[in-house]
Amino acid sequence: MRFMKTYKQESFSFAGFVMTYNRPKILLESIREIFKQSLSPEILLIIDNSENNYTKYAIEKLNNPKIKYIKMPENIGPAGAANRGVKFLSELGYDWIYWGDDDDPPKFPNIFINLVEIASKNENTGAIGSVGSKFDFKNGLTVRFKDEELKGVLSADTIGGGHNLILNGEAIRKTGVLPDPKLFFGFEEFDFLQRLKKVGYSILVSGDSLFQHRKASNRLNYKINRKLIPKLDEAASKRKYYSYRNHIYIFYHKLGLKRLAILIIIRATMKVFMGYFNGFKFGNRNAIYTFSAIFDGLTKKLGKHE
């Protein structure tokens, strides 16, 4: 029988999962911070995508009965790990489910309880988080909340997995909406949350928590300064591939926003030619990743990019 936490005369159950990949030391620090929360998970599921057993040995040494460890036979990416975590914990009947990354633990001790309290008071909450943003579906751009908006409860379009994303387990059970494992890496949270919104659930962000996080990271009055064509290393180029591919796939095939997918393709193609200003070698690599992403997104060639 699951232990029921009680808060302000309302009973609910709370569990969480953390996905990890080859970072046992960082993971252990995050686990410690998670269990320091005033509301800590009754079960914390560790989903290990690592290529070795170092994380397994580190978890075994903790000897914590609240931790359940699952080793994946291969790297299924953050999207695959999130699919396993959400499915497993929702099927166990938990009311609220924390979705965590191994390197992004909660920064303040009362985050979980504050978020669950807000979510419980707002009808049809599908998910809530500490940090999130709106999305401009006309121009295909993420929209940052203004500092003066950061109070009360905010309606958002997306929340990152590393931003204390907490899901409504009952919403998952009713709708069957789960993270798409085929995405492998990148925007799996956005895709999942948009599908929850499509069936009538709201995505919320605590404005007070977002303000607190911006203040702590010195990002109040922050202005985004993007280079038009940054010179990326190989790893960053791969991440950009997933970003383009998954955006195109999500908008074109899943959300029916073909105009937006085409807009992203046009922008990406323009940046291919401009990429050669960073040198021929970078330009070629950038072109290969970009055109591969466009082709794969349009033809639904998903999963891990080899």
- Give per-residue pLDDT as tens, 151-210: 999 999 999 878 999 999 999 999 999 999 999 999 999 999 999 999 999 999 999 999
**How confident is the model over 69-92, as a mean pLDDT?**
97
Q: What is the pLDDT of residue 229?
A: 65
Q: Which residues of 87-120 are buried (b: 16+ CB within 10 A; e: fewer)?
A: ebbbeeebbbbbbbbbebbbebeebbbbbbbbbb
- pTM summary value: 0.93
| Residue 105: CA count within 13 A, CB half-sphere | 18
- Could you identify the residue written with the tokens 């190989």? 234
pLDDT surpasses 70 at 6: no
Q: What is the pLDDT of residue 278?
A: 86
Q: Is the dihedral of CA 299, 301, 305, 306 positive or negative?
A: negative
Q: What is the pLDDT of residue 224?
A: 65
Alpha-helix residue ranges (DSSP H) falling in the chain: 24-35, 54-62, 77-91, 111-121, 169-175, 188-198, 207-216, 234-249, 258-274, 280-299
- Could you identify the residue written with the tokens 């109070």? 151
Q: How many other CB atoms are there within 10 angstroms of residue 61's CB atom?
A: 10
Cα–Cα distances in angstroms (integers) from residue 149 to residues 110, 116, 129, in the given order: 22, 21, 16
In tens, the pLDDT along 266-284 reads 999 999 999 898 899 999 9
Residue 284 tokens read as 């070629």
Give percent of the chain above pLDDT 70.
94
Q: What is the pLDDT of residue 226?
A: 58
In tens, the pLDDT along 104-138 reads 999 999 999 999 999 999 989 999 999 999 999 99
pLDDT surpasses 60 at 8: no
Residue 22 tokens read as 């080859």
Q: What is the mean pLDDT of the chain?
A: 93
Q: Are 154 and 132 in contact (CB under 8 A)?
A: yes
Q: What is the pLDDT of residue 10?
A: 53
**How confident is the model over 43-53, as a mean pLDDT?**
97
In tens, the pLDDT along 278-302 reads 899 999 999 999 999 999 999 999 9
pLDDT surpasses 80 at 145: yes
d(CA 117, CA 135): 25
User: Which pLDDT band holds residue 51 (cuts at 50, 70, 90)?
Assistant: very high
pLDDT surpasses 70 at 37: yes
Contacts of 92 (CB under 8 A, 6+ apart): 2, 15, 43
Give the burial class of 241: count Cβ atoms within 10 A of its Cβ; 0-12 exposed, 13-18 middle, 19 or more buried: buried
Question: Which run of H or E residues covers position 63?
Answer: none
In tens, the pLDDT along 212-232 reads 999 999 989 877 665 566 777
**How confident is the model over 3-16, as a mean pLDDT?**
64
Give the burial class of 150: count Cβ atoms within 10 A of its Cβ; 0-12 exposed, 13-18 middle, 19 or more buried: buried
Q: Which residues pair with 44 in a beta bridge?
A: 16, 67
Q: What is the pLDDT of residue 228?
A: 60
Q: What is the pLDDT of residue 222?
A: 78
The DSSP letter of residue 147 is: G
Q: Are 158 and 133 in contact (CB under 8 A)?
A: yes
In the chain the domains, ranked by start, together with CATH numbers, are 5-216 (3.90.550.60), 234-299 (no CATH)
Contacts of 107 (CB under 8 A, 6+ apart): 213, 216
Q: Are 94 and 2 in contact (CB under 8 A)?
A: yes
Cα–Cα distances in angstroms (integers) from residue 43 to residues 35, 39, 48, 78, 123, in the given order: 10, 12, 16, 20, 26
